[in-house]
A and B are shown apart, each in its own frame.
Chain A
């Protein structure tokens, strides 16, 4: 190693050099006086003349010696000394040089006003050496060029340091005063201009660097230290504001990188699956990061990353997402969490791509959800459980995906919720299926379940319920089904019913559930009232035991009462109860809901006696047969006065193959106008007590589906309720505000009703107009876009 020996001057001089370095910069001369003694002390820095006293007591002044100007010949000689020294330094032969002497020489030259001479000669000397160097380097063949440059660069740096140290006085005085470039920098510049920019070097250098990178990308090994050395050289020689590194390397490097990855990614993606492509990208990103760490300049790394992200990820994000059989749809379906995680991590670097990924997830959810709804409808809603379970499964699936693959990304979670809300609220079908699910559970599903398990089942309902926008549709069905359950006593568990109500109250507030709770109260009160009635011995009249439920009209689902003539003994039972009740509660009115009751009939058939459990209407029809064996449709109709559709439905139910209580004269399914029905004495059944079920009128669906359009229309009472609610809301708001603009009013109404349903702006407008007509509101004279409350 030559470094150790001859890059340093003699030891002594090194110490001296250290002292000089420590001196303050610029203004102060590092040396005490022009005539330097051979030795000097570090402490002797103050050049001011001092008074000294001798033994004789006389003062003696120390005067500086006389000034000896240096002429140009002498100067040249001094320079020769330095020139030789510089040569030796370049030749790595500095061990014999005295640093102190050289320093002094340079110092003297500068002091005697020969700075310019010194500086220009130094420059020329450097140039001369560089030219020699360049010639040698440029003659190197390609496979040796980089090494040669690197080596020469290293040597040059060391030499420059030594030269600079020798010329330090000049640097700090002449150079600074005359605005020249400092010696070290000058040396760099000359190196750049002479060696790097040499016509036989420059182009080759650039080419070799780029080729090295390209080959490394293809898998060949590269001398990374050499690269680093060259690149740092390029960086350092850019002293005079010219960015050599950027010009010679960075810009072409980035351009080539871009092209390379553009091509590679294009080709790879067309021949490979999405996960494989992503793995490749990961590998490449890693490789490039190593490159950045090992030999690229730090400033290049962000630019490089930008290109990588654009070419490898951003440009192909859509293709990857939509790739058939291996893209997002497949990954979501098959729960490929690892692949999705990889995609998430990669796409996180490009916000736009990440947003596309989230959108793809949203679309998948919406599509799956819509399929679920359609499937349920196609199956005729036979198994409500399938739908709700399907929804819950979908929900759970994506909860896991968000957690595992998307690392709990909050925007992704929001997207999931939004997607659910969108397809659930396309129309009221989801609400209906959910209500059926609840009905199933509360009717029988929860029977025998422990408290915790039952609770978790009910929670499922609430989870889906939260997505519903039009909650009043759900409530409508729930109310109807609850009334049926309560009246027929078919509730699996009273506790569960109450628990469900409590949960709904928690979600929507007291208003939502107050009527439902009222229904429970009614049932309880009815039970108490019946107990009293029974105790008073009034419940059994004419041998008929009657049980009555008194319902507060406002709480229960409203239905118009269809007329019906009750057979005689029953009529008096009802009157008796009515009398009893109205005595207790004056001022009330009661109406018998004949379409809802049930009756137990004792029937004598040829074989044996049976007990038939039938609806009130069925009972009315059957009771007629106490007086006749055969009756025509017209006769029955006149006697019972039930509306036609219900009449037919009930007649059919009494002559089904399974429960042929009556025999229908005509063949086929329908009832003809002149049909007759005869009592079927031969009826048999294995059971003593038989329930005669009603033939279903396809409850609910006929009324709500428009034929051919297959669109769900709102149940009529939901519509009516909404009208009332909107009007009430408008009046309430206007009463407080007195004067309000149209848009503000619409917004406020929507806000007030949002927990129940979303009111369409057009609907609100319609109600406003209706209220204007009825003189609750008027348009403001000055601003016709505002409304005024009319007291």
Chain B
């Protein structure tokens, strides 16, 4: 995965989610996602570790949707300055919460 170009990696990333789904469930348990992310996206995203930490400690979200999975990749590649991030934008609420958690826990 480390050596792929971005286009191929994106396809691979999406595939991982679909592959990891259980049967007809459309979402994946967050613990599994927490384990998958470091393996799949790992160092490509500066947010991987923190996001995993956030996921595991958050009380509301038990399952992760495909949309949220994809958005994480998008977020990691396009958002570089968290001060510019707006929760009025089109990001999934999960990411809004992540940014809020990030800022309020002094990770900046």
For B53, what are the chain A residues with a Cβ–Cβ distance below 8 Å? Answer: none
Contact residue among A742, A743, A746, A765 (Cβ-Cβ distance under 8 Å from B93): A765
Contact indicator B67/A773 (Cβ below 8 Å): yes
Interface string of B61-96 (1 = CB under 8 A from A): 000011100110010000000000001111011001
Residue of B nearest to A766 (CB): B93
Residue of A nearest to B78 (CB): A784
Complex interface residues of chain A between 730 and 778 (CB less than 8 A to chain B):
741-743, 746, 761-762, 765-766, 769, 772-773
Contact indicator A772/B67 (Cβ below 8 Å): yes
**Given the interface contacts A772-B67, A773-B26, A773-B67, does A784 sit within 8 Å of B90 by beta carbon?**
yes
For A786, what are the chain B residues with a Cβ–Cβ distance below 8 Å? Answer: 90
Q: How far is the CA of A742 from the CA of B89 in the complex (A)?
A: 7
Residue of A nearest to B70 (CB): A779
Interface string of B32-53 (1 = CB under 8 A from A): 0000000000000000000000
Residue of B nearest to A786 (CB): B90
A785 in the interface, Cβ–Cβ < 8 Å?
A: yes
For B92, what are the chain A residues with a Cβ–Cβ distance below 8 Å? Answer: 765, 769
Contact indicator B89/A779 (Cβ below 8 Å): no
For A762, what are the chain B residues with a Cβ–Cβ distance below 8 Å? Answer: 87, 93, 96
**Given the interface contacts A779-B67, A784-B74, does A769 sit within 8 Å of B93 by beta carbon?**
yes
Complex interface residues of chain B between 3 and 37 (CB less than 8 A to chain A):
26-27
Contact indicator B65/A743 (Cβ below 8 Å): no
Q: How far is the CA of A322 from the CA of B90 in the complex (A)?
A: 45
For B71, what are the chain A residues with a Cβ–Cβ distance below 8 Å? Answer: 784
Contact indicator A769/B65 (Cβ below 8 Å): yes
For A772, what are the chain B residues with a Cβ–Cβ distance below 8 Å? Answer: 65, 67
Interface size band for A? 10 to 19
Residue of B nearest to A783 (CB): B90
| B62 nearest CB across to chain A (Å) | 14
| A760 nearest CB across to chain B (Å) | 11
For A742, what are the chain B residues with a Cβ–Cβ distance below 8 Å? Answer: 89-90
For B27, what are the chain A residues with a Cβ–Cβ distance below 8 Å? Answer: 773
| A532 nearest CB across to chain B (Å) | 52
Q: How far is the CA of A118 from the CA of B71 in the complex (A)?
A: 98
For B66, what are the chain A residues with a Cβ–Cβ distance below 8 Å? Answer: 773
Task: Tally inter-chain residue pairs, CB-CB below 8 A.
Answer: 35
Contact indicator A785/B89 (Cβ below 8 Å): yes
For B26, what are the chain A residues with a Cβ–Cβ distance below 8 Å? Answer: 773
For B96, what are the chain A residues with a Cβ–Cβ distance below 8 Å? Answer: 762
Interface string of B87-108 (1 = CB under 8 A from A): 1111011001000000000000
| A765 nearest CB across to chain B (Å) | 6
Contact indicator B90/A785 (Cβ below 8 Å): yes
Q: How far is the CA of A451 from the CA of B89 in the complex (A)?
A: 53
Residue of A nearest to B68 (CB): A769
**Given the interface contacts A762-B93, A784-B74, does A769 sit within 8 Å of B88 by beta carbon?**
no
| B92 nearest CB across to chain A (Å) | 6
Q: How far is the CA of A761 from the CA of B92 in the complex (A)?
A: 12
Q: How far is the CA of A773 from the CA of B89 in the complex (A)?
A: 18
| A768 nearest CB across to chain B (Å) | 8
Residue of A nearest to B26 (CB): A773
For A766, what are the chain B residues with a Cβ–Cβ distance below 8 Å? Answer: 93
- Interface-centre pick from B27, B67, B87, B89 (highest chain A CB count, 10 A): B67
Contact indicator B65/A773 (Cβ below 8 Å): yes
Residue of B nearest to A770 (CB): B65
For A779, what are the chain B residues with a Cβ–Cβ distance below 8 Å? Answer: 67, 70, 90
Q: How far is the CA of A746 from the CA of B87 in the complex (A)?
A: 13
For A741, what are the chain B residues with a Cβ–Cβ distance below 8 Å? Answer: 90
| B65 nearest CB across to chain A (Å) | 5
Residue of B nearest to A772 (CB): B67
Q: How far is the CA of A772 from the CA of B71 in the complex (A)?
A: 13
For B88, what are the chain A residues with a Cβ–Cβ distance below 8 Å? Answer: 743, 746, 761
Q: How far is the CA of A487 from the CA of B96 in the complex (A)?
A: 48
Residue of A nearest to B74 (CB): A784
Q: How far is the CA of A761 from the CA of B96 in the complex (A)?
A: 13
Q: How far is the CA of A742 from the CA of B91 in the complex (A)?
A: 9
- Interface-centre pick from A766, A784, A787 (highest chain B CB count, 10 A): A784
Complex interface residues of chain A between 420 and 459 (CB less than 8 A to chain B):
none
Q: How far is the CA of A179 from the CA of B100 in the complex (A)?
A: 80
- Interface-centre pick from B66, B71, B88, B96 (highest chain A CB count, 10 A): B88
Q: How far is the CA of A741 from the CA of B90 in the complex (A)?
A: 9
Complex interface residues of chain A between 388 and 440 (CB less than 8 A to chain B):
none
Q: How far is the CA of A784 from the CA of B71 in the complex (A)?
A: 9
Residue of B nearest to A769 (CB): B92
Interface string of A649-667 (1 = CB under 8 A from B): 0000000000000000000
For A784, what are the chain B residues with a Cβ–Cβ distance below 8 Å? Answer: 71, 74, 90
Q: How far is the CA of A761 from the CA of B89 in the complex (A)?
A: 10
For A785, what are the chain B residues with a Cβ–Cβ distance below 8 Å? Answer: 89-90
Q: How far is the CA of A397 from the CA of B27 in the complex (A)?
A: 58
For B67, what are the chain A residues with a Cβ–Cβ distance below 8 Å? Answer: 769, 772-773, 779
- Interface-centre pick from A742, A761, A769, A787 (highest chain B CB count, 10 A): A769
Q: How far is the CA of A787 from the CA of B89 in the complex (A)?
A: 13
| B96 nearest CB across to chain A (Å) | 8
Q: How far is the CA of A667 from the CA of B79 in the complex (A)?
A: 68
Q: How far is the CA of A785 from the CA of B74 in the complex (A)?
A: 11
| B70 nearest CB across to chain A (Å) | 8
Q: How far is the CA of A772 from the CA of B70 in the complex (A)?
A: 12
Q: How far is the CA of A741 from the CA of B88 in the complex (A)?
A: 12
For B65, what are the chain A residues with a Cβ–Cβ distance below 8 Å? Answer: 769, 772-773
Q: How far is the CA of A761 from the CA of B88 in the complex (A)?
A: 7
Q: How far is the CA of A451 from the CA of B15 in the complex (A)?
A: 71
Interface string of A112-123 (1 = CB under 8 A from B): 000000000000
For B87, what are the chain A residues with a Cβ–Cβ distance below 8 Å? Answer: 762
Q: Which residues of A contact B (CB under 8 A)?
A: 741-743, 746, 761-762, 765-766, 769, 772-773, 779, 784-787
Q: Which residues of B contact A (CB under 8 A)?
A: 26-27, 65-67, 70-71, 74, 87-90, 92-93, 96
Given contacts A746-B88, A761-B88, 12 further A-B contacts (CB under 8 A): A742-B89, A743-B88, A762-B87, A765-B92, A765-B93, A766-B93, A769-B65, A773-B67, A779-B67, A784-B74, A785-B89, A785-B90
The 3 A-B residue pairs with the shortest CB-CB distance, nearest first, are A742-B90, A785-B90, A772-B67
22 A–B contacts, CB within 8 A, in A order:
A742-B89, A742-B90, A743-B88, A746-B88, A761-B88, A762-B87, A762-B93, A762-B96, A765-B93, A766-B93, A769-B67, A769-B92, A772-B67, A773-B26, A773-B27, A773-B66, A773-B67, A779-B67, A779-B70, A779-B90, A784-B71, A784-B74
